[in-house]
Structure 1
């Protein structure tokens, strides 16, 4: 086994372990609050769904890729291949949806009474909660395509049009592949559009509120960052991190598709990028938790 493969395997292993533990802690943190009698708002339940989706991504992509990098061959059965790819696609889709709903929820929460978003405040818990479950159903249905075309490497039928994906294989068909990409891309880009839109509204609302408070009491403005400012930074950081890694992943997918050289390196970088957001997102959420809670309570009481 080459030293480069061992190094890549070690990186995948570290990313998977850190991300898995971070998301498990996030999941446990909010469930513990719920069991202790703390009434969880919808935002916290969305974060729970996000942590579950991230765990699926890391386990179903990081673990097999780590085993492959360490030299293990044909370690997944046909059922294991289908299930692994299916759950990974579901987790990836729900991660996108949960991040979007988190941004939308935050925008509705802090919207002033005179804004259009304020009419959703009374119903947002039921609507946002239902939307998260609908995202699970949506991606479960879409991802069922993987159950048909993905199979174990030891199955040798129709080898002429086989695409080797490392630890599993799939059959190649240009028309079907284009439809497959469109099927996944349309809801992904819609979610990303809503995510950026909601985050932009949130930033504008918090910026206007900060300016208003400075005009009302400029003498009392503290040099420290206010909860609103920290909330803006958190929202921007979370969404920007997601968009950044998602965009890079899309670029590497295109490079892998059209490149005939260095595919081993491109595939490994793509897998590493795919696991970056699920790994870092729980730490981005937990770090400013008290600030988010103060800012959310402040605006909900307005």
Structure 2
């Protein structure tokens, strides 16, 4: 498990750093960033928080380290990890909603949002940062490094930190506060995905006669981008479901085993590690954009 978690963390950090480097390179070269690019940059930051604040500590536990963080360090690590997890949901939700609005037909109810989509989606991402930072403050109160107060009861031990609880009513409020934003984001994500599938199916039915007459008919850039986003959303939902199953087992277990803790950390780290490679596999990735910019500059230089 130590080798698996270490490989996942290293590969994820390198993949996200490579994707972030190319976005920064494009920005420095004077290319205008699209709304989807801005959302993906926020997703990359969220991936870094998840990998650094959960992947690295759990990897050290798998290699035999125990309680190597102070009380303040545990609070910050758990807090930043939860903020990154919430922002990953918000970023994927914003990306799917933005793409659903972009490909909506002109006579649909979403058509009036096309001209304002950039402004609203970017504002939505920054609002999500604020909500995630505020909601997850509860972790600063309940997470500690070691048991220092006899009046407090340890509910869960994670190998490097522990969680404390004093009042069962506060636990219910805590779970509710954390569940509402996630449920809202997943609901919007599901609606946007179903709507995009409907639009793609309708477009495919309309274009059947063109595909019959033209053998070399290629999918439009909007269609390819939509399929890439749907792949990203389905991957996120799959790993998120796996993570939720592990979290439920951990909540039902008084003293979770190290294997269960490692599996939960592995499930939480899969999407941050895989998502940059899914994005780079598409044709609208920074790599293809870099080669396009170089070709354009060569054409401008050559007589």
- The alignment's TM-score, normalised by the length of structure 2, stands at 0.88
SS in structure 1 opposite 2:64?
coil
What CA distance in whole angstroms lies between the structure 1 residues aligned with 2:281 and 2:95?
Answer: 16
Structure 1 contact 206–228 (Cα < 8 Å) conserved: no
| Partner-residue secondary structure (3-state), 2:114 | helix
Is the Cα–Cα contact under 8 Å of residues 64 and 167 in structure 1 kept in the other structure? yes
Segments of 5+ residues of structure 1 without an aligned counterpart are 1-7, 295-302
Structure 2 counterpart of 1:85: 78
Contact preservation (8 Å) 2:20, 2:44? yes
State the partner residue of 2:268. Answer: 274
2:212 to 193, 218, 225: 218
Q: CA deviation at 1:144?
A: 0.8
How far is the alpha carbon of 1:227 from its aligned partner?
4.8
Do 1:104 and 1:198's aligned partners in 2 also have CA atoms closer than 8 Å? yes
Whether the 8 Å CA contact 1:227–1:291 is kept in 2: the answer is no
Cα drift, residue 232 of structure 1: 4.4
Calculate the TM-score normalised by the size of structure 1: 0.88
Name the count of aligned residue pairs: 287
Residue 12 (structure 1) aligns with:
5
User: 2-side partners of 1:253 and 1:202: how far apart?
Assistant: 30
- Mind listing any 5+ residue stretches in structure 2 that lack a counterpart? 290-303
Could you say what secondary structure the match of 1:275 adopts?
Answer: helix
Mapped pair 1:101 → 2:94: yes
Identify which of 263, 278, 281 aligns with 1:284.
278
CA distance in 1, matches of 2:283, 2:99: 13
User: Shift of residue 264 of structure 1?
Assistant: 2.0
Listed as ranges, the matches of 1:147-226 within 5 Å are: 147-153=140-146, 155-158=148-151, 160-172=153-165, 173-216=167-210, 218-222=212-216
Structure 1 stretches of 4+ moved >4 Å = 223-229, 291-294
Establish whether residue 48 from structure 1 lines up as the match of residue 45 from structure 2: no
Instruction: State the alpha-carbon separation in 2 of the partners of residues 141 and 262 from structure 1.
Output: 28
**Does the CA-based 8 Å contact 1:96-1:191 persist in structure 2?**
yes
Task: Please give the secondary structure, in 2, of the residue aligned with 1:290.
Answer: coil
Q: 1:72 to 1:33 in 2, by over 3 A?
A: same
Deviates more, 1:260-269 or 1:118-127: 260-269
Identify the residue that residue 295 of structure 2 maps to in structure 1: none
Go from structure 1 to structure 2 and tell me whether the alpha carbon gap of 1:21 and 1:287 turns closer, same or farther (over 3 Å shift).
Answer: same
Cα distance, 1:91 vs structure 2: 0.4
Give me the whole-angstrom Cα distance separating, in 2, the residues matched to 1:17 and 1:237: 23
Q: Partner residue of 1:300?
A: none
User: Measured at CA, do residues 88 and 115 of structure 1 come closer, stay the same or move farther in structure 2, by a change above 3 Å?
Assistant: same
Distance in 1, Cα, partners of 2:223 & 2:118: 25
